[in-house]
C-alpha cells in the first residue's frame, strides 16, 4: 500500500513538473513575442520618421541653372560679382565689328508693361519696355512697386570701350540683388536687330539691359547704354530710353572717380523713385 502511494506521488510530481515546464515555455514565448513587438514598433516609428523627413513624394527636379564662370572684364558687374568697379576696366577688342545699321533702329515690342520711369537726382529717365523680356519686366515691375530701387545708387560708370551707367544694386557696390535670379531673355540676335549676321554684338545708345555674372543670373542690376558699345550678346535687353539720355550724358561728362575709365561716377547718382506702367 505504501508503495502504491509513493508511486502516485511520483506521478503527480512528474505531472506538476511537466506543467511547470509548459508554463515556463509559454511565458518565454510570450516574452519573446512582446520583445519582437516592441522592436517592430520601434522600426515602424523610425521608418515613418525617415519618410516624413525626406518627403520622397514631394521631391523636386534638380535646378538646371548652369554653373557660371568668373565675370569677364567686358561684362557689367552684377549682384554676385564682388570685384571693385575701379578694378574692372573693360578690355574690348579694338577690332570688334561695327554696328549693323538696324541696331540704331531697335524698337521694343509693346506688351503688358509700357514704360518705366527712373527719377534720378539729376533728372528723369523714361524707358520704353520690351515685351520680348516678359519675366524681366514682371520682376522689375514688382521690385518697383515695393520701392526696391528707391535710395539706391548707380554705382558704376564706364567711358572707354563700353559706355554704360549701371544701377539697381541695393548695396551700391556691385554685389547686391533681390535674392533671386531670372533667366536670360531677348538676347541680341539678327531677328531683333541687335546682332549682325556676321556675329557682331551691338548695344546701341539708349538700350537698357540686365547686368549678370553668367548665363541666367539676372537679378536687379541693369545698365543704360549712353553711347554705342560693342559687348558680347549675353545681356537681356528689356527696354530703350526714350527721354532722359541728356541726363545720363551729363552724368558721364562729369567723369569717374579717380580718373578711372570704369568706376563710381564723380557725380553721385541716386534713384529717388521708380514707376512702371
Provide the residue range defining the domain that includes 115: 98-276
Number of folded domains that form the chain = 2
Domain-located, residue 137: yes
The pLDDT score that the predictor gives to residue 209 is 98
Over range 149-161, report the average pLDDT: 97
Residues 32 and 108 in one domain: no
- Whether the CB-CB separation of 124 and 117 falls below 8 Å is answered with yes
What DSSP character marks residue 66?
P
Q: What is the pLDDT of residue 276?
A: 96
Most confident of 9-23, 82-96, 137-151: 137-151
Residues 37 and 168 in one domain: no
pTM value is 0.67
How far is it, in rounded angstroms, from Cα 81 to Cα 86?
A: 13
Q: pLDDT value at position 155?
A: 97
User: Do 150 and 257 sit in the same domain of this protein?
Assistant: yes
Say whether pLDDT at 84 is over 90: no
Contacts of 87 (CB under 8 A, 6+ apart): none
Q: What is the pLDDT of residues 19-42, one digit of tens each?
A: 777 766 666 666 666 666 666 655
Mean pLDDT of 177-189: 96
Please check whether residues 147 and 13 belong to one and the same domain: no
Report which secondary-structure segment, H or E, holds 116: strand 115-120
Query: 215 pLDDT band (50/70/90 cuts)?
Result: very high
- Residues 105-138 have pLDDT tens digits of 688 989 889 999 999 999 999 999 999 999 999 9
Write out pLDDT tens, residues 50-81: 444 443 333 333 333 322 232 333 445 544 33
Quick one: 53 and 109 in the same domain?
A: no
Q: Which alpha helices (H) appear in 65-178, and where do they start and end?
A: 134-145
Q: Is residue 62 part of a domain?
A: no
**How far, CA to CA in Å, does 73 sit from each of 69, 202, 209, 226, 246?**
12, 17, 17, 19, 27
In this prediction, residue 97 carries a pLDDT of 47
Do 102 and 44 lie in one domain? The reply is: no
Scored b (16 or more CB within 10 A) or e, 14-25 reads eeeeeeeeeeee
Amino acid at each position: 500500500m505504501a508503495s502504491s502511494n509513493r508511486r502516485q506521488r511520483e506521478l503527480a510530481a512528474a505531472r506538476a513538473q511537466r506543467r511547470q515546464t509548459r508554463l515556463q515555455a509559454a511565458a518565454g514565448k510570450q516574452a519573446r513575442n512582446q520583445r519582437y513587438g516592441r522592436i517592430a514598433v520601434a522600426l515602424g516609428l523610425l521608418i515613418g520618421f525617415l519618410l516624413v523627413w525626406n518627403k520622397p513624394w514631394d521631391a523636386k527636379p534638380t535646378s538646371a541653372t548652369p554653373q557660371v564662370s568668373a565675370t569677364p572684364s567686358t561684362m557689367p558687374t552684377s549682384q554676385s560679382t564682388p570685384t571693385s568697379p575701379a578694378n574692372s576696366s573693360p578690355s574690348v577688342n579694338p577690332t570688334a565689328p561695327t554696328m549693323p545699321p538696324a541696331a540704331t533702329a531697335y524698337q521694343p515690342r509693346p506688351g503688358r508693361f509700357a514704360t518705366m520711369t527712373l527719377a534720378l537726382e539729376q533728372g528723369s529717365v523714361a524707358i520704353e519696355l520690351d515685351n520680348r523680356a516678359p519675366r524681366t519686366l514682371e520682376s522689375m515691375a514688382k521690385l518697383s512697386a515695393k520701392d526696391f530701387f528707391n535710395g539706391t545708387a548707380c554705382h558704376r560708370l564706364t567711358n572707354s570701350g563700353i559706355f554704360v551707367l549701371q544701377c539697381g544694386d541695393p548695396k551700391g557696390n556691385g554685389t547686391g540683388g533681390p535674392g533671386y535670379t531670372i533667366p536670360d531673355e531677348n538676347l541680341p540676335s539678327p531677328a531683333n536687330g541687335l546682332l549682325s549676321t556676321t556675329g557682331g554684338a551691338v548695344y546701341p545708345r539708349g538700350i537698357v539691359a540686365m547686368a549678370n555674372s553668367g548665363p541666367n543670373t539676372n537679378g536687379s542690376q541693369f545698365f543704360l547704354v549712353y553711347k554705342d558699345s560693342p559687348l558680347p550678346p549675353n545681356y537681356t535687353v528689356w527696354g530703350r530710353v526714350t527721354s532722359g539720355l541728356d541726363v545720363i550724358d551729363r552724368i558721364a561728362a562729369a567723369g569717374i572717380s579717380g580718373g578711372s575709365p570704369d568706376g563710381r561716377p564723380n557725380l553721385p547718382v541716386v534713384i529717388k523713385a521708380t514707376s512702371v506702367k
